[in-house]
Structure 1
Amino acid sequence: MTETATDQPGRWKDRTPPDRAWKSKSGINAAARVAEQDRAAGGHHRRTVDVGEGRFARASIALRLYQRTRRIRAYLRWSVGGRTRERYVGEVDGSTRSENLKQAWSAAWALELLTEEPVPAGSWASSREARAVMSANRSRDTVPELLLRKALHRRGLRYRVAARPLPELRRTADVVFTKARVAVFVDGCFWHGCPEHYRPATKEHSDFWRRKMEENRSRDTTTNQALHKAGWTVVRIWEHEDPDEAAGRIAEIIWSRGR
């Protein structure tokens, strides 16, 4: 089923959009595809479609190039009972696929095609977002970390994983370049108060989550200060960032130091 929404004016009037604006990267695995959609939507919990009778489905965005009109169209897709459903959400005009996925998710929310899946009865978490974060929380080897490390490895960079830059400082960085003295931290949007995706809890236990986030941000600041004082460069990457773009920034720092 396909439904038409009001199109936004496109930027590709006189030329065909480049592949990077809509095509997914070759060889990308299922976990990477999920992470890409999660980043663009602002979290796994924000990809929910209410299919009725108390049931919910996880949606994704499909981008399609129409050669005749030189336009990229976005469609919201999900499955119900083994059948794929689809809704047209509009045209997108970003220069990269990640930009266009973000535009499409925003449009889907504006069209009220998505919903926040309710928290199961009896759950201690104050919101679906909090529950998703707690369920997915791991001390290392999260999907964003793995994708970043793969992107760094493809650039020929070698590093230590989950190591302390300073043995005497009880702070573990996600990726450490010892010779270049560069420490990389991949920060979760919920736990570290991402300005783009963090949404303060407004229900039960909201004070707890606010204090926890503030404590984490304070700890981040003291960690940065301690490492800078010891001559280290600190790079902080939000979990929603494109891993290739983040790896490129890190590589420039490493290469500028001849490492």
Structure 2
Amino acid sequence: MTDQLSHSEIISRDTSRMMSQMKRKNTKPEILVRKFLFSLGYRYRIHVKALPGTPDIVMPKHRVVIFIHGCFWHGHEQCTVSHIPKTRTDWWLAKFERNQNRDKRDCAKLRQDGWDVVVIYECELRKKNINNTLHNLTMYLKAPSPNDNNHIQID
């Protein structure tokens, strides 16, 4: 007798397959920032697993780590790209909250270990924001801010 899959099992299986194919490293926004930094003469390491959160870009000489976050996955609140899916809303809200809590915990641990942490969201690297974001990143790297929240701000 053949097994019959329910509609929700099919959706879940297909969703799982699609999600497993999402890039986690070397995304377009990440590569864009890396190329920009390299063009300015900055050298860095990528995806250092020994550091909390496996930062996308690590600049040991400057004691700076950079995370390039996807707006959807990290629940970027000031962004139109970040939205709550209409199905399984409770599950997604819990997922986003876990991601945000993990991000906060990793950033706190990095700061405690003496690293400056910079977070850039993917929407900040879109056409209308990219010049401002990269300019702010350059200014930050030249003179790091003494505050605890080193998020590159778009004015």
Fold conserved between structures, TM > 0.5: yes
> Is 1:160 equivalent to 2:45 in the alignment?
yes
Larger relative helix fraction: 2
> Is 1:182 equivalent to 2:89 in the alignment?
no
Asked if 1 retains the 8 angstrom alpha-carbon contact of 2:52 and 2:106, the reply is no
Q: How far is the alpha carbon of 1:231 from its aligned partner? A: 1.6
Partner in structure 2 of residue 253 of structure 1: 140
> Is 1:137 equivalent to 2:18 in the alignment?
no
Q: How far is the alpha carbon of 1:246 from its aligned partner? A: 3.0
Larger relative strand fraction: 1
Partner in structure 2 of residue 202 of structure 1: 86
> Is 1:214 equivalent to 2:97 in the alignment?
yes
CA distance in 2, matches of 1:172, 1:217: 15
Q: How far is the alpha carbon of 1:251 from its aligned partner? A: 2.3
Which amino acid counterpart does residue 180 of structure 1 have in structure 2? Answer: H
Deviation readout 1:22-66 (Å, 9 max, x if unpaired)? xxxxxxxxxxxxxxxxxxxxxxxxxxxxxxxxxxxxxxxxxxxxx
Q: Which runs of 5+ in 2 are unaligned?
A: 1-9, 145-155
Which has the higher mean CA deviation after the structures are superposed, 243-252 or 147-156?
243-252
SS at structure 2 position matched to 1:183 = strand
CA distance in 2, matches of 1:160, 1:245: 24
Q: Which runs of 5+ in 1 are unaligned?
A: 1-121
Asked if 2 retains the 8 angstrom alpha-carbon contact of 1:188 and 1:238, the reply is yes
Which amino acid counterpart does residue 227 of structure 1 have in structure 2? Answer: L
Partner in structure 2 of residue 237 of structure 1: 120
> Alpha carbons of 1:189 and 1:135: their partners in 2 closer, same or farther (altered >3 Å)?
farther
Asked if 2 retains the 8 angstrom alpha-carbon contact of 1:173 and 1:184, the reply is yes
Say how many residue pairs are matched: 127
Q: Give 1 or 2 for the bigger CA radius of gyration.
A: 1
SS at structure 1 position matched to 2:65 = strand
CA distance in 2, matches of 1:174, 1:244: 20
Asked if 2 retains the 8 angstrom alpha-carbon contact of 1:184 and 1:234, the reply is yes
Q: How far is the alpha carbon of 1:148 from its aligned partner? A: 1.3
Asked if 1 retains the 8 angstrom alpha-carbon contact of 2:52 and 2:110, the reply is no
Q: How far is the alpha carbon of 1:151 from its aligned partner? A: 1.5
Q: How far is the alpha carbon of 1:175 from its aligned partner? A: 0.5
Which has the higher mean CA deviation after the structures are superposed, 240-249 or 142-151?
240-249
